[in-house]
Amino acid sequence: MQVKDLVSQFKLTMVAGEKGLERQVKDGYCGDLLSEIMANAPEGCVWLTIQGHQNIVAVAVLREMAAIIMTGGQTPDEETLDKANQEEIPLLLWPNSAYELAGRLYALGVGNPQSG
């Protein structure tokens, strides 16, 4: 599955990093404490967070993530958009809770070891 498939499936709003839309999605992760994300997020994940500071892009690059999804109607800082474009990390918006989206992604097979 590619990031662009998730965008169309969940009608996510893409605000930056369009060039990364063909990245492969291998897993998922949630959290807002960036030190913890830097330590534990799996490679190729989509990361659900409410943190909009530009450091999220650096963390996504470090962990070789597929995309960042800002949940709960939160929006990124201006600098974050620039960084995401530079690094080609898709930055997507989801209006509802992280809980809901994570459940739906898991049901779809993202990060679910039971799924093919």
Given 18, 27, 64, 77, the residue binding another protein (CB under 8 A): 77
> Considering the rule CB under 8 A, would residue 54 count as an interface residue with another protein?
yes
Q: At its nearest, how many Å lie between another protein and the CB of residue 58?
A: 7
d(CA 97, CA 22): 25
Distances from the Cα of 109 to the Cα of 3, 52, 81, angstroms: 14, 27, 29
Given 1, 34, 61, 108, the residue binding another protein (CB under 8 A): 34
Stretch that binds another protein, among 7-15, 29-37, 93-101, 107-115 (CB under 8 A): 29-37
CB-count burial class (<10 Å; 0-12, 13-18, 19+) for 59:
buried
> Considering the rule CB under 8 A, would residue 58 count as an interface residue with another protein?
yes
> Considering the rule CB under 8 A, would residue 37 count as an interface residue with another protein?
yes
Structure tokens at 100: 């809901």
| In contact, 101 and 94? CB cutoff 8 Å | yes
Which positions touch another protein (CB under 8 A)? 33-35, 37-38, 51-55, 58-59, 77
